[in-house]
């Protein structure tokens, strides 16, 4: 069995508008795959088809060989696929610890009644989850902030809380939707370190990002979309040298700006 998250021949049509046409992408364990393209190229649509927020008109989504096309998002989380959002979806009034613990919801073994009655099995599981949450927070540098209200954190720290929630759910594949948006260069460098750490643990990462400098510094492979179709797939250097990609997406000026923006990320590597 081939271990990978794969979308094959995905088509997404909204009425008379074709948002995706024969789009394919694969994410392997321990690898970082970038997905880029201009606004309206179909990135978000493909991302939502893979994570169950849209049911594709045609095509197939598989997780480690199992067909999961059309599965609901919560079912995909149980299958090992978790995502973050451009706008973080977390209660800003909760603490970091509470938010991370909420990520374990799909893995709970004890039932609601056991928890309500305070049965030993439920108490034991609560201790186990608190220990696991503390370990995750420590790995991501969040443990000193465990009791802090999320609304008081920087955007970079909130992004890391989202990553922690994905890991709490037992994700084997983590899909990050523009995680560097709104971050300072220092926060981008920290985020890049943690994304590399995810891959080093054998987790497959799909990274949707406008910052090509960040993509180039992090990714093993890049897929470029243009008007719903795959324009190019290859290593970051190969994609950056593809004349079609330069014309469609990069442009010399934009590429130069991105390279400058990502310099702290490379220096932190």
What percentage of the chain exceeds 90 in pLDDT?
Answer: 63
- Which pLDDT score is estimated for 115? 43
Structural domain for 64, as ranges: 5-21+29-202+221-268
Q: Burial, 116: exposed, middle or buried (Cβ in 10 Å; 0-12, 13-18, 19+)? A: exposed
For residue 180, tell me if it sits in a domain.
yes
Beta pairing class for 5-14 and 17-27:
antiparallel
For residue 185, tell me if it sits in a domain.
yes
pLDDT in tens, 67-89: 999 999 999 999 999 999 888 88
pLDDT in tens, 107-132: 554 444 344 434 455 566 678 888 89
The closest alpha carbon to 150, from 83, 102, 206, belongs to: 102
For residue 148, tell me if it sits in a domain.
yes
Yes or no: say if 218 and 266 are a contact pair by the CB < 8 Å rule: no
For residue 209, tell me if it sits in a domain.
no
Q: Which residues of the chain have pLDDT under 50?
A: 109-119, 252-264, 266-269
Cα separation, 70 vs 85, in Å, equals 19
pTM here is 0.83
Name the E strands within the chain.
5-14, 17-27, 32-37, 58-63, 66-67, 81-83, 173-177, 204-208, 221-226, 229-234
The closest alpha carbon to 232, from 41, 39, 29, belongs to: 41
Q: What does each C-alpha distance from 213 to 18, 50, 70, 87, 88 come to in angstroms? A: 30, 25, 33, 22, 23
CATH number for position 52: 3.40.50.300
Q: Structurally, how many domains does the chain consist of?
A: 1
For residue 245, tell me if it sits in a domain.
yes
For residue 56, tell me if it sits in a domain.
yes
For residue 113, tell me if it sits in a domain.
yes
The closest alpha carbon to 52, from 77, 28, 27, belongs to: 77
- Which pLDDT score is estimated for 1? 64
For residue 215, tell me if it sits in a domain.
no
């Amino acid at each position: 069995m081939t271990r990978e998250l794969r979308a094959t021949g995905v088509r997404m049509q909204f009425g008379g508008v074709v948002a995706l046409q024969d789009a394919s992408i694969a994410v392997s364990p321990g690898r970082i795959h970038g997905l880029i393209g201009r606004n309206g190229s179909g990135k978000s649509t493909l991302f939502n088809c893979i994570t169950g927020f849209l049911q594709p008109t045609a095509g197939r989504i598989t997780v480690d060989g199992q067909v999961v096309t059309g599965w609901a998002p919560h079912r995909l989380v149980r299958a090992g696929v978790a995502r973050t959002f451009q706008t973080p979806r977390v209660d800003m009034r909760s603490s970091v610890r509470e938010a991370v613990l909420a990520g374990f919801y799909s893995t709970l073994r004890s039932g609601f009644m056991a928890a309500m009655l305070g049965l030993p099995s439920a108490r034991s599981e609560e201790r186990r989850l608190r220990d696991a949450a503390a370990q995750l927070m420590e790995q991501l540098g969040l443990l000193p902030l465990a009791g802090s209200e999320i609304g008081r954190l920087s955007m970079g720290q909130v992004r890391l809380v989202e990553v922690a929630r994905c890991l709490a759910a037992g994700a084997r594949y983590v899909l990050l939707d523009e995680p560097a948006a709104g971050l300072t260069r220092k926060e981008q460098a920290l985020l890049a370190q943690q994304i590399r750490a995810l891959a080093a643990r054998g987790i497959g990462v799909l990274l949707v990002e406008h910052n090509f400098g960040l993509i180039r510094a992090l990714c093993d492979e890049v897929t470029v979309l243009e008007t719903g179709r795959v324009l190019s797939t290859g290593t970051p250097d190969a994609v950056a040298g593809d004349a079609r990609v330069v014309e469609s997406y990069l442009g010399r000026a934009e590429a130069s700006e991105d390279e400058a923006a990502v310099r702290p990320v490379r220096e932190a590597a």
